[in-house]
Amino acid sequence: MDREPKAEERSLPHGLSLQDRHKMTLSGVNDVINFDENQVMVSTTMGTLTIRGSELHVDQLSLDSGDLRLTGTIDTMEYDDSGTGGGLFRRLFQ
C-alpha cells in the first residue's frame, strides 16, 4: 500500500540540530525510509536526508509532529532532492 504524504506533512518546517556529532534532532520528517547502525535515510520536507556514521540509533520518532531524535557517531549528512530534478542514477534507472 503506497502512502501519500498529507498536506500538513509537506508544510512542516524543516530543521536540523547537531550536538557534538553525537546527538541529532530533526523536524519536518515525513517518513523513515531505511535505517541501520551505519545509515539512516529519512524523507523530509526539504528532500531525502541520508545520515551516515556508526552506532546510529533512532531514539525518538513522531511522524505526527515530524520529529526525530538520533544518537551515535555522525560522520556525514547528505540531502538528495532528486524528486525535483533527478540525480544521475535516478535518471539512468527510471
What is the tens place of the pLDDT at every residue in 42-88? 999 999 999 999 999 999 999 999 999 999 999 999 999 765 444 44
Question: Is residue 25 exposed (0-12), middle (13-18) or buried (19+ Cβ within 10 Å)?
Answer: middle
This prediction has a pTM of: 0.75
CATH of 7-81, one of 1.10.287.130, 2.60.40.2000, 2.60.200.20, 2.60.120.10: 2.60.40.2000
pLDDT of residue 8: 44
Count Cβ atoms below 10 Å from residue 46 Cβ, excluding itself. Answer: 14
Q: What is the mean pLDDT of residues 22-35?
A: 95
Q: Which residue has the higher pLDDT, 3 or 31?
A: 31
Q: Where are the domains of the chain?
A: 7-81
Task: Please give the share of the chain, as a percent, with pLDDT higher than 70.
Answer: 76
End-to-end CA gap in the chain? 21
What DSSP element (H or E) covers 43?
strand 39-44
